[in-house]
Structure 1
Amino acid sequence: MGKSVISAIDVAARALDPALTLRAVDYLRVSTEDQTKGYGIAYTGKRTASHIQKKGWTHVDTFKDEGESGTLPWQEREGATKIMDLAVRTPRPFDVVVVYETRAIGRKNRVFWEWVWKLQDLGVFVAVVDEDIDNTTEDGEARMREKANEAFKELARIRKRTQGGIQEKAELGEYAGGQPHYGYRIKNQGKKGEQELVIDECDGGDVCTRTDPCEIVHEAYVLREGRKYLIKYRGDWTKSVISLNARGLVNRSGKPWSAKNFRDRLMDEDLLNARRTYRHPKRANLGPDGKPVWGPTVVIELPQIFTEEEVAELRRVVRLPKSSRGTGRVYPLSGRLQSLCGKFYTGGGAGAEDSPRYTCRGSQMPYPGAPTCSCVTLHAESVEAWAWQQVCDLLGNSEKLHALADEWVGVAKDQSVDYVARLAVLDQQIAEQDDTLDIMMAVAAKKAARAGLKGAEAEASVDKAIKREVEALESLKKERVEIEIWQAESSQADERAKDLQELVQRANARLENFGEERQAEFMELLNIKMELAGPPPCLKGLECSIGQWFRENDRLVPTLCDHSWELVMASENFPNGGTVPRQKGGLAPRTVLEAFLKKARTGAAWPELNAECGSTGLIGHWRRWVASGRWERVMEALKGAEGLPAAPRYPLPPLRMTGEVRPGVILAASVLGSHVQESDPSAPACCSSGRPVRGAGR
């Protein structure tokens, strides 16, 4: 293309008001890989700021996504989302978004165009600095499409070339990149075609010397010494790593070994079999056929660190982690409940068979002697019941769900692109390109005839003359097919959102009966996350006998008022109406009963209640009431009174919950609870996006 023309934005602005200045924001996104190459936020920010100044625009604000992948949709990037949130406001606070290069917007075709088109639908244009182009004219939009498609193709070519080179090297038995297994190092590192994996041991070469003592921690030596300790301590991993750490034989990152970390390194099957596996099916990206995308699995033989006899001895002695022999209970909140120390709670642990509980991962030593947190354990059934009740309450609240559905549909509409308009423009471009191709074909045929060409020569001459126009037409048709697919997916998501209410009504009646396993599946689909909002209560101490009575008898704790006290008086006939202490320094019967009921409702300790009542004998009153039968008589008299639930045996800490309400998830709930299984309950949700919901409580 020739020199870029003056932006249509500037032309329109000057026509309306010569003094009008456009408002611009710049969007800066660099991946972690770009940062390591020196192309950070500061570098791109200088270029966009210079471009805005050069154009004479007013800089309004800067939005950043540092270290974010360009393959993520804009809805999953904070900076890009903030720009869109401002773009839908009235009046709009800016007119143009400036980026340094096309890949700052996205590294995938759909990611790029959905953001650009949505801004364009809102009347906001995009300018690219390194090509000095924008989409304010048909010419500018065509150039932007051309440059963006070139970037996408180049990325695909680079990836294919890189992965192909790795595969070729692996199949030739050469070092193909990546971190070597622990115990090996890269020989001739940096020398193309000469790199290979060798045992990391002191050989007097490179960084070691044969005359002076070697001060480097060689990994093969660490593995061999660790194996010896395991033999000595009969497979005790903790004692073995304590011995290694004490000698300074630490791991590759320079940190002390944990038992699990060292076990994972030493018992790695590739290490024990002296091999390296490329494209391992458990680690590689797999295609629809279940095979690695970039090439078949390749196994490369490596020099042996251990002899076959040493490996056999190690296998005989080592004690591998034993699988839990508990009841097989599922803990649906494992890894979803964040503690105050920042770590997550997991289910199980010592004593979990008799009393299921959640334990904070921070309380486990990462290596022997390491500091740990003091987070207490949580009673599993109590916290799970609270979490599941929040889910059921949400899905059972038709008004709230209706509002959420309206919000979901509205947001989805705000974020969707006008695909109909895009397809109409493409149809016009395709028709125009068809006409252009017909004209050029006729002209080329006449030229071939005048040149005296016939048959294959004439056909080849015409094909050569129209080749570029044919490629342009095919590119437009391919783009149209892609946009039709995007349009269909977007429409499908909107329809599912509108069906939310009906699906919930089908599912809600069955949610209450879900067991732990189904709850875990459903919470995975809802992407439930929880966190402690305050210190958790300690589980130690005796159970409140008053609260236990109400829980065992499935009774509410009655609310004591003048009317209900009259019922008590009719049963017990306390002197002086029961509101006056019988002796100096004592407590009135009504005060005693109120204290009992408060303890049942709140779980308060006896000393706390004694301090409130100015007494030290409440527990004595309780024992006498129970022994004499008075407690049972009073409760019988108050049997029909209104009340509140007793405090739980294991009181909960302040909790917060977040999740996503997605129509496909609700449909999955309906399927999970039905007798006729319509689809795989563990399959992904039908709709890939959702609206967050929150719950809070104690």
Structure 2
Amino acid sequence: MEYQDRSTSRAWQREVAESVIAGLGVIVAEYFDVGCSRRVPWVRRPQAGALLAALSATDRGFDAVVVGEYERAFYGEQLTRLALMFRRHGVQIWLPEAGGPVDIGSPEHRALVSVLGAQSQREVLRSRHRVLAAMEAQAREQGRYLGGRPPYGYRLVDAGPHPNRAHAGWGRRCQRLDPDPVTAPHVRWMFEQRVAGRSVAGIARELNERGVLCPSDVDPDRNRHRSGGVWTLRTVAVILANPRYTGRQVWNRQRTEHSDRAVTRRLNPAGEWVISRALAHPALVSEAEFVAAQQVRAARPTKDGGVRRYLLAGLLECWLCGRRMDSHWVHGRAGYRCRHGYSSARPRSSARPKSVYVRDDVLLSQLVEFESELGGHDVDDGDVRSRVAAIVAWLKAAAMVIVHDGTAWEFATG
């Protein structure tokens, strides 16, 4: 926890650990992670990862690891998986709940570890539910700023004492968003241009030509994970799709997913966003202008007033670079392409691989021919497009994509 007394927590955990090994050994090294959730795998915790790396060292100086409290160290089945690694290196794991070393081969200890893991998981889930429910209410009813990087075009200003008396007594204060005099005009200009029908690429290209600093260059301390330098299509598109510019607070736009390899942040569906009932900060654009910008992005009308439809939009992935292919109208027919990250918002690179193009009608015909590869699902007889519509529905339901290299394709998990 951000406001947890770390020195106190460390002291009582060490005291518990010392009582477990009293008269049997001494502590020769400490591995104490700060600011890491127990849900994070050990390999991605700084101190826990260092401990795992030390297991294979010939001069590690210890033959057992004693834990101050199970819930502070493990989550779910983590201990069961780690115990095998510790056993391979001849290192025991001692728990205060077990009164000494843990023997995963013992039915009693396996049951104990299973109960402790479930208890640790339950504690996290209960705390998470309470916190998320409170944050949802604070965002919707109070319009409170709940942390994170301020959107491009805004800065953080003081919003008075914290509404919780205890927090206020400790000197904590609230913050809110306020227009940044330097970057707010660029946001307003982007929306004006988009509502007028200008492409996202055209907006990004002009920003680059005018030398306007992109978000990661304006605030590098909060954007250390980004390289910066230029405006990209995605940067402009994300700004144009952010309803916080209407003056309303928005929460739960994205979620964080943990795995053994990395932390991934994904955008939640718009229906799951929590939007404040009342205005929470000064607006940079009106709600009508924001809605108009979204309609321009979604409709993409043609010169004759029609709207082009692409059945496989979002379902094609480039085999070469792993990007999703763009829907593309060329020579009077639908198709898909991948330019491997190149867009008209940036200069062309001579080292860029050749673009991949896939004709819509050709791929649709091939999909119908290979219906049997889709697991025997039912597809009604009819024309090609109606049959493919059923295939597309199956792909979406199964979270599958079509990986294409320009000549051949295969199905893969999305």
Name the CA shift for 1:314/1:164 in 2 (closer, same or farther; >3 Å): closer
The 1:43–1:306 alpha-carbon spacing in structure 2 relative to 1, beyond 3 Å, is same
Task: Sort the Cα spacing of 1:381 and 1:305 in 2 relative to 1 into closer, same or farther, 3 A.
Answer: closer
The superposition leaves residues 254-300 of structure 1 with CA deviations (integer Å, 9 ceiling, x where unpaired) of 342246643552564431x31213357997799xxx988xxx86445
Residues 618-661 of structure 1, C-alpha deviations (whole Å, 9 max, x = no match):
xxxxxxxxxxxxxxxxxxxxxxxxxxxxxxxxxxx2x352458x
Q: CA deviation at 1:359?
A: 1.5
SS in 2 for 1:166: helix
Pick from 121, 124, 127 the counterpart of residue 158 of structure 1.
Answer: 127
Is 1:252 matched with 2:230? no
CA root-mean-square deviation: 5.3
Amino acid at match of 1:44: L
Corresponding residue to 1:356 among 323, 330, 334 = 334
* Residue segments in structure 2 that go unaligned for 5+ positions in a row: 1-15, 22-37, 65-71, 96-100, 163-169, 218-227, 256-266
Q: Deviations over 1:476-509 (max 9, x none)?
A: xxxxxxxxxxxxxxxxxxxxxxxxxxxx4x9489
Identity %: 14
- Give the count of matched residue pairs: 322
TM-score, structure 1 normalization: 0.37
Task: Check the 8 A contact 1:339/1:345 in 2, yes or no.
Answer: no
Relative distance call for 1:174 and 1:373 in structure 2 (3 A) is same
CA drift of 1:345 comes to 2.7
Structure with greater helix percent: 1
Q: Is the 8 A contact 1:274 1:303 kept in 2?
A: yes
For 1:657-696, list aligned pairs within 5 A: 657-659=410-412
Look up the match of 2:173.
194
CA contact (8 A) 2:317 2:325 kept: yes
Task: Work out whether 1:41 is the aligned partner of 2:49.
Answer: yes
Given residue 196 of structure 1, which amino acid in structure 2 is its aligned partner? Q
Matched, 1:277 2:246: no
Q: Secondary structure at the match of 2:75?
A: helix
Residue by residue, what CA displacement relative to the aligned partner does 1:564-615 show, whole Å, maximum 9, x if unpaired? xxxxxxxxxxxxxxxxxxxxxxxxxxxxxxxxxxxxxxxxxxxxxxxxxxxx
1:183 shift after superposition = 1.9
Against the structure 1 CA distance between its residues 509 and 3, is the aligned structure 2 distance closer, same or farther, given a 3 Å change threshold? same
In structure 2, the partner of 1:344 is 324
Per-residue deviation, 1:517: 0.7
Residues 313, 142 of structure 1: alpha-carbon distance in 2 compared, 3 angstrom cutoff = closer
Give the alignment of 1:459-498 within 5 angstroms.
none
1:516 maps to 388
- What TM-score results when the alignment is normalised by the length of structure 2? 0.57
The DSSP-based 3-state class of the residue aligned with 1:129 is strand
Which of the residues 230, 236, 239 maps onto 1:265?
239
Cα distance in 1 for residues equivalent to 2:343 and 2:46? 38
Distance in 2 between the 1:146 and 1:105 partners?
Answer: 10
Structure 1 residue 52: Cα displacement: 12
After the TM superposition, which residues 387-466 of structure 1 pair with which residues of structure 2 at under 5 Å, given as runs?
387-392=367-372
Residue 670 of structure 1: aligned partner: none
2:296 counterpart residue number? 320
Within a 5 Å distance, the mapping from 1:492-641 to structure 2 comes to 504=376, 507=378, 515-532=387-404, 536=406
Within the candidate set 362, 369, 375, 1:382 is matched to 362
**SS of alignment partner, residue 172 of structure 2:** coil
* 2:77 maps to which of 105, 115, 123: 105
Go from structure 1 to structure 2 and tell me whether the alpha carbon gap of 1:49 and 1:135 turns closer, same or farther (over 3 Å shift): farther
> Is contact 2:202–2:345 with CA below 8 Å preserved after alignment?
no
Query: In 2 relative to 1, CA 259–344 (structure 1 residues): closer, same or farther, beyond 3 Å?
Result: closer
Q: Which runs of 5+ in 1 are unaligned?
A: 5-29, 56-99, 107-111, 203-217, 396-503, 537-652, 661-698
Do the aligned residues in 2 keep the contact of 1:183 with 1:220 (CA within 8 Å)?
yes
1:147 equivalenced with 2:116 (yes/no): yes
2:93 matched to 1:129?
Answer: yes
* C-alpha deviation, 1:37, in angstroms: 5.6
Amino acid corresponding to residue 222 of structure 1 in structure 2: H
1:109-143, Cα deviation, whole Å (9 max, x unpaired):
xxx99x89xx9xxxx9xx98362423322331232
Q: In structure 2, give the amino acid aligned to 1:223.
A: V
**Residues 200 and 220, structure 1, Cα contact 8 Å, conserved in 2:** yes
Question: Compared with structure 1, are the counterparts of its residues 235 and 319 closer, same or farther at alpha carbon in structure 2 (3 Å cutoff)?
Answer: farther
> CA 1:393 to 1:195, structure 2 compared with 1: closer, same or farther past 3 Å?
closer
SS at match of 2:173: coil
Pick closer, same or farther for the CA change 1:239–1:188 going to 2, 3 Å: same
Based on CA coordinates, which of the two structures has the bigger radius of gyration? Answer: 1
Q: Judge conservation of contact 1:358–1:378 (CA < 8 Å) in 2.
A: yes
* Residues in 2 aligned to 1:317 and 1:159: alpha-carbon distance in whole angstroms: 35
| Matched residue type, 2:183 | E
SS state of the match for residue 111, structure 2?
A: helix
In structure 2, how many angstroms separate the alpha carbons of the residues matched to 1:104 and 1:49? 28
Residue equivalent to 1:175:
145
Match for residue 303 of structure 1 among 281, 284, 287: 281
**Alpha-carbon distance, 1:520 to partner:** 1.0
Match 1:223 to one of 187, 193, 206? 187
Q: Which amino acid aligns with 1:160?
A: H
